[in-house]
Amino acid sequence: MGGFHKLILFFTLAGLVLGGFACEKSFHNENERYVFVAFDTSIPYWHEAQNGFNDAGRVLGVKVSEVGPTAYSPQDELAAFKQAVASNPSGILVSPSLAGIFNPEINEAIAKGIPVICADSDAPDSHRLMFIGTDNFRAGQESAKHLATLLHGQGDIVIITVPGQTNLGDRLKGAQQVLQGYPKIKVLQTLDDKGDPTVANDEVSNLLEQKKEKIDGFLCLEAAGGPGAAETLHRLSMKGKVVIVAMDKSPETLDWISRGYVSGAIAQKPYTMAFYGLRFLDDLHHNVVRQFKSWRTSPESPLPSWVDTGTAWIDSSNVNSFIAAQPTRNPMLE
């Protein structure tokens, strides 16, 4: 057979194969719907996650939505989760603000045959099918290592966090482990900013302005602490006098890094968590992982129990790249 005829035969066969794939009906249907439940849908961190959830929905051709309170409120988030379960979706991705109160509700959803995956914050004692997010213990370690380096191994510091959240508790444990190796670094106290930069600003102002505390650094283990502390330093003209290590890459945090008030931040990957969280839910719903007949009757989850999405360090050397990559659309309006 001549080369030309071979070429014609190749494209004919390729066309038949591709045509077969094109005609094959997708196993998705128009009624499939997945819900993402977050504990503060007003903040940029969850906007980035929603972008990932939306994009995965477009790739898969399924309906998606995000629900949850517009301010930190575990009870309101729990109510939103219950409503999501009652609507009988194809699957739920949730970031439980307080694991303890979510355990029975997650278990009930699983019992009803609704797959539930935790993202960003875990409920490890529930029947959730997997966790996808940051290794928070390691993130706390990384935060403390960067702070110790910036302080040259000595100084008085304050930790800013929100007590009670499993993920933040793990970060605190990681930070404490690292700080034990720096006997010349003293933790003066731990502040609860309630996940609100205004509260963080007030708390830091009280220490620096009212109490006249000498503080060398702030270790912020959640997103609101960095911008709140930086605002105080700006108001008191203390740029460069106190080290701030922040958490996450909100536009405010990136701006304070570029202006020199925040030394750096540990950035998580909420887009990645939500994007692959939805894909895992979709795999469960369609029983793509066929180790067992169905995930609903399997003796164990067919998915990985834990997927670490990793972190990145942001400082003056790379902050402009992160600023350029900030989401340009508001997913809450979609």
List the domain boundaries for the chain: 33-134+269-310, 136-267
pLDDT at 13 (0 to 100): 39
Burial of 223 (0-12, 13-18, 19+ CB in 10 A): buried
pLDDT at 328 (0 to 100): 56
One fold for 33-134+269-310 and 136-267: yes
pLDDT at 27 (0 to 100): 67
Q: Report whether pLDDT(296) > 90.
A: no
Amino acid at 155: G
pLDDT at 90 (0 to 100): 97
pLDDT at 72 (0 to 100): 83
pLDDT in tens, 226-284: 999 999 999 999 999 999 999 999 999 999 999 999 999 999 999 999 999 999 999 99
Name the class of domain 33-134+269-310. Answer: alpha beta
pLDDT at 301 (0 to 100): 87
* Cβ–Cβ < 8 Å for 115, 285: yes
Give the Cα separation of 116 and 272 in Å (integer).
Answer: 17
pLDDT at 91 (0 to 100): 97
Q: What are phi and psi of 277, to 5 degrees?
A: -60, -45
pLDDT at 16 (0 to 100): 40
Domain 136-267, classified CATH 3.40.50.970, yes or no: no
Q: Report whether pLDDT(331) > 50.
A: no
Helices (H), the chain: 3-23, 44-60, 74-86, 99-111, 136-150, 166-179, 197-205, 225-235, 251-258, 270-285, 319-324
Q: Does pTM surpass 0.85?
A: no
Largest CA distance in the chain: 91
DSSP state of 26: P
* Nearest alpha carbon to residue 128 among 92, 88, 97: 92
Look up tokens 């077969």; give the residue. 20
Q: Report whether pLDDT(334) > 60.
A: no
List residues bridging with 92 in a β-sheet: 35, 116
pLDDT at 93 (0 to 100): 98
Q: Which residue has the higher pLDDT, 43 or 200?
A: 200
**Which residues lie below 8 Å from residue 83, measured CB to CB, with a gap of 6+?**
67
pLDDT in tens, 103-148: 999 999 999 999 999 999 999 999 999 999 999 999 999 999 999 9
* Nearest alpha carbon to residue 206 among 187, 222, 193: 193
Give the Cα separation of 314 and 317 in Å (integer).
Answer: 8
For the beta sheet containing 312-314, the strands, ordered from the edge strand earlier in sequence to the opposite edge, are: 185-192, 155-161, 217-220, 243-247, 264-267, 312-314
* Nearest alpha carbon to residue 76 among 125, 37, 44: 37
**Which residues lie below 8 Å from residue 271, measured CB to CB, with a gap of 6+?**
48, 49, 51, 52, 55
